[in-house]
Structure 1
Amino acid sequence: MNTNQIDGAASTRSARSLTTIRPSRRALLTGGAATAVGLALAACGSGNNGPSTGGTAAGGDTVTVVTYDSFDLPDELITAFKDDTGYTLEIARSGDGGEVANKLILTKDAPLGDAVFGINNTMASRILAEGVIDTTTALNLPDGAADYLAPYIVDDTPALVPIDFGEVCVNVDTFWLSDRGLEIPTVFEDLTDPVYKDMFVAINPTTSSTGMAFLLATIGHFGEDGFAQYWKDLVANGTKIDEGWSDAYYTDFTAGGGDGAYPIVVSYSSSPAATLNDDGIPTTAAMSRTATRQVEYAGVLAGAANPDGAAAFVAWMLSRQVQEAIPDAMYMYPVDPDAALADDLADFGATAEDPIVVDSADIADHQQEWLTTWAEAVGQ
């Protein structure tokens, strides 16, 4: 796994101002599988509306959370965590998401902290297979959490707890295209049409989580046998490939605030909500049929010095006040469907009804070969 696969999401968090919706949810698991996961989640412990107290538990009164550099929550919430649980949070920022995952695997016999936040679904199966997550410590999750968490559980292991999600998809500068009499593209295949030659900027999946998510979307759509040809066709049609989301969106995208020349870009479903003009109308739109979902997880680290405190942290991340703070602080959607978000995002940043899904186990098994195939297809 590449060690730089979070910069897109991190850049989005640090650069955009989002506002509150109740985004649409889609059950990614159905029937018996979801029921089984729900029962397992319930067994983790539920019945309170927030984390349990007990700062004098084994491991002392400090909880060390290993996370990515862009982790951010309001200071008043951090203070409230100590007031509610008796534990003091110590945030150990450890690079981007890929670096965090690799460091946790390399140090699993001498863990860097008590809990982790920020593992996403492209890394989750590997993290679980490597034994990084403690699957024995009870988690006292909020009432009702089992139901809304079940669709996002990886490998039937509820100890790795879903916290938030985002959707990577193609965005278009609708005003730029309309001014030139061009139709707005809606599907992957449109981007290889000569009408849109030299208009699309994508992102390198070996250096960006945003780029990796879009690569997975093309694999999910075209299949393992077809995605390489699609990328060859994109390059032949003048697609530019940047190293990270910031360069693609803020430098090369025509609606990114700079002097960009590309009116089509890989970004997020929430991005249009941040492009409102003076009339309150977004100048960009998301191509929802290209969307794929990124889910971020938290868990207790195996061998943690303070597993009880780590469990309190995980439960706290699902508390209503934290879930409602996540969109403004880290620019992701909360997994709790009842957590309030903001009006602009409600109107212009709705999530896809049917996002593309690639199984996390398949990602763990095939990610490196997919990246090799991609590099060969685009000539890198």
Structure 2
Amino acid sequence: MQRRFFLSALFSFSSLSVAGLAQAQSPMPLRVLTHASFDLPKDLLAQFEKEAAVTLQIVKAGDAGEMVNKLILTKSAPIADVAFGIDNTLLPRALSAGLVDPYTGPAAQRKAEVAMSGGVVPVDFGYVNLNIDKAWFAKAGLALPASLDDLAKPAYAKLLVVENPATSSPGQAFLFATIAGLGEEGAFTWWAKARAGGVKVVKGWSEAYYTEFTRNGGTRPIVVSYASSPAAEVFYSKEKITESPTANLFLKGGVFRQVEGVALVKGGNPAAREAAGRFIEFLRSAPVQQALQTSMWMFPVEAGATRVDVMKAHATEPAKFDNPTAGRMDANAKAWQQRWTQTVLK
């Protein structure tokens, strides 16, 4: 499972378009800026290049927050024509910074499972929540925490690893969920108790899940991850297991619904605008909406999209989630992160 790594990479896929009587021409480059977790099968990308007569230049800009920062810093000379991975925590910032040209094509008009505003087209959604190591709890004979109040007690806080909201998308989402679910003062009181109880903080998801989580040799059997993590565990076992060794724990104030979208970049190459629109339509196509479920481990937004079997069987969705309003997130994100740092790390 790959979500929110802090890496930068450039991938380029090539294809030839043929004009007239087999006279080869160089395909137009289409610059796509994404977060580091963007991942689709190469054959789908190659097919898009062929049909759109473009060469994809996919630049991975690290975490989604880093990606938006890069768009802001390069606003006067945009480095992309289209951007994927602007999520609902970052959308108000992207819109207020004037980074987006609204897209109004068919994908923007079709009914979707979730919505985004400002001409950004939703592509996928998922949930940030707690995952637990089922075998560890069974062996310890310890009941699961029934609330965030339970989780802040030393018996459980010392078992929990979370991501820093200043450096991690799921870390930020989990912080937002605690604020929406407990209220701002209640949330920071909870974080202070969790710190006193022994919660561990790491930079990002990969360190939390692959180093600190007991499933992977760590010492913490409770981790902030995704509702799709149990499905990924089964999928990557290559049929060695049929039941996930991890489970979702949905607690009030501990579940955030994340929505990711794709947008036209304001000031992008006008000659590439049509191809950029085709890329947006491509991300909402049936093959991509199916593939992203086991490559990016998110749920498809296209109404009526088929869920793949491993997601249907092992990626449970919560009945409720706690999201602050978009305006509140945008207005307070920086202050909340600073207060969290003072509360948890100082």
Q: In structure 1, what is the Cα distance between the partners aligned to 2:207 and 2:107?
A: 39
**Are 1:9 and 2:3 matched, yes or no?**
yes
The CA deviation at 1:69 is 3.0
Aligned 1:1-380 pairs, distance under 5 A: 9-11=3-5, 61-135=28-102, 138-141=104-107, 146-148=110-112, 151-154=114-117, 157=118, 159-255=119-215, 257-258=216-217, 260-276=218-234, 280-289=242-251, 290-305=254-269, 306-380=272-346
Query: What is the aligned length?
Result: 319
Q: In structure 2, what is the Cα distance between the partners aligned to 1:69 and 1:283?
A: 26
- Structure 1: where are the runs of 5+ without partners? 1-6, 13-54
Q: 1:317 to 1:279 in 2, by over 3 A?
A: closer
Letter of the 2:205 counterpart: W
The CA deviation at 1:239 is 0.9
The CA deviation at 1:366 is 0.5
Letter of the 1:332 counterpart: M
Q: 1:138 to 1:171 in 2, by over 3 A?
A: closer
Aligned CA RMSD, in angstroms, stands at 2.3
1:293-332 deviations in Å (ceiling 9; x for gaps): 1111111111121222211111111011111111122222
Q: In structure 2, what is the Cα distance between the partners aligned to 1:249 and 1:209?
A: 14
**TM-score of the superposition, structure 2-length normalised?**
0.85
Q: 1:197 to 1:92 in 2, by over 3 A?
A: closer
Contact 1:97 / 1:118 at 8 angstroms: preserved in 2? yes
- Structure 2: where are the runs of 5+ without partners? 7-18, 20-26
- Return the structure number with greater strand share: 2
Q: In structure 1, what is the Cα distance between the partners aligned to 2:266 and 2:228?
A: 35
Report 1 or 2 for greater relative contact order, CA contacts < 8 Å, sequence distance ≥ 6. 1
Letter of the 1:361 counterpart: G
Contact 1:139 / 1:312 at 8 angstroms: preserved in 2? no
The percentage of aligned residue pairs carrying the same residue is: 36
Q: 1:197 to 1:301 in 2, by over 3 A?
A: closer
**TM-score of the superposition, structure 1-length normalised?**
0.78
The CA deviation at 1:8 is 7.9
The CA deviation at 1:224 is 1.4
Q: 1:336 to 1:186 in 2, by over 3 A?
A: farther
